[in-house]
A and B are shown apart, each in its own frame.
Chain A
């Protein structure tokens, strides 16, 4: 096994043993149970009223769309907790030095840690979303139009937060980094609210700020894009300014590359 694969395996094992993973799994189980009960009740009510296909699609979209925010939130939480202490946190706890003095190199070490965190949190999001889609389909006989697109948007959003947290870990202690990344996550949500406010007030300045936030924190745009993939009649373009469509895809790749380059440079220059 190569040193890179060794670190990935070690990081995945470490993730699985963290208490946060268990907490997220328990919360996921509880949410799925509540979601199943809710879906049964709502689709059952729809049957009683003799709802047609359009109404079934509207209910399914609303239910799944709401649940996707929970997927985003729990996936983000998992990604943050898996990466908040990758550099400075582990260095202060004495865990990093024995790994860094091996011939693997800092770039590969960081890349392997990112790959492991991305695999864990991305895998979690895929599994959680797939269960929700199957559950919604089984209970309500409704499936979203573009399952893959919706899932990819969610995974992309979580990967962006994961990379932000990894970059933050090269500068901040674990606690400070966790707080900072959750604040950025909150800022992404606030940007959408700000955009709505800007539209209501017809304020160009607020609109500009929210659009800038949409570009700087693209995970929100990715989440909204995944919501837009649920059905043909869903328009999420006006919820948040910033990138959309192909521009969003391209910007996400550039953004991830910039975060990776920043984290690498900071890690290479850091005294441990």
Chain B
């Protein structure tokens, strides 16, 4: 079994509203997948279904082959909710210790120290949650999700309260997790972050998967831009393969070429096009 997360025909209905409609999604070991979509698209519902907080209305979800929400599935995943809170009277180290106890982790003090160092809270292990900034609490949330070395990490907006340095640290952390074989499902509105770190993105709109694939495969070529002595010329519809011919023709025509840039749509363009914005 190589799939860490498997959703087949997953549906979730809240009364008359269909939040998820026959979603098929798989995550392989060590794969980092970005979940994109506008507000209300069903991303959090999908995350919550995967960790057993919601009961699907149809279809199935499994984690490492075990039904979502079962003890076996829960023992293999780490989850950071979009809206979460830790008791304000606990220190950072006590929060991790609590979750070590709940997940039967035998990592002890060494694991606590390693996780807090990993998220940059090594110096703040004795600080109470009440005294932490939102960014510190979010980093603590990530550390908590990593207790017990899960096979699958479900992160719902993990960088929403982080400053640019914090976001960069999270990106680096995600890449290091991938190297350790941990699969990550990342729900984020930060498209640039997703584009930088994810192997694959899944775009949800209205509870359905409308696009899925590698970021490089989803973007489309938009043309070739050539900077010459007479100005910048854009050749729309041309691709990377057309660039040498365009440059040759310009040089043959007496133009001096200073630079060539292949233009492609960004993940943001793909996203906006897909959601109809």
Contacts and interface: CB of A to CB of B under 8 A. Distances in A.
Interface in B87-109: 87, 89, 98-99, 101-104
Given A6-B101, A104-B102, A272-B53, A97 B87 contact: no
A94 B53 contact: no
A271 B98 contact: no
Interface string A103-139: 1110000000000000000000000000000000000
A18 to B, nearest CB: 10
Contact of B81 (A7, A17, A94): A94
Nearest to A268: B55
B263 to A, nearest CB: 43
Interface stretch (B70-78, B163-171, B202-210): B70-78
Contacts, number: 66
Interface string A187-207: 000000000000000000000
A269 B101 CA distance: 25
Interface of B: 48, 51-55, 71-72, 74-75, 77, 79, 81, 83-87, 89, 98-99, 101-104, 141, 144
B83 A103 contact: no
Given A10-B87, A98-B86, 5 more contacts: A94-B84, A103-B72, A103-B102, A271-B48, A271-B53
A10 B90 CA distance: 10
Contacts of B51: 101
Contact of B77 (A94, A99, A101): A101
Contacts of A97: 53, 79, 81, 84
B103 A272 contact: no
Secondary structure at the A interface, as helix, strand, loop or mixed, is: helix
A100 interface: yes
Given A1-B101, A3-B101, A3-B102, A101 B52 contact: yes
A95 interface: yes
Contact of A98 (B55, B75, B84, B89): B84
A115 to B, nearest CB: 15
Nearest to A10: B98
B101 A272 contact: no
Interface in A76-107: 93-95, 97-105
Contact of B144 (A3, A98, A103, A269): A98
Contacts of A103: 71-72, 74-75, 102-104
B44 to A, nearest CB: 11
B55 A102 contact: no
B143 to A, nearest CB: 12
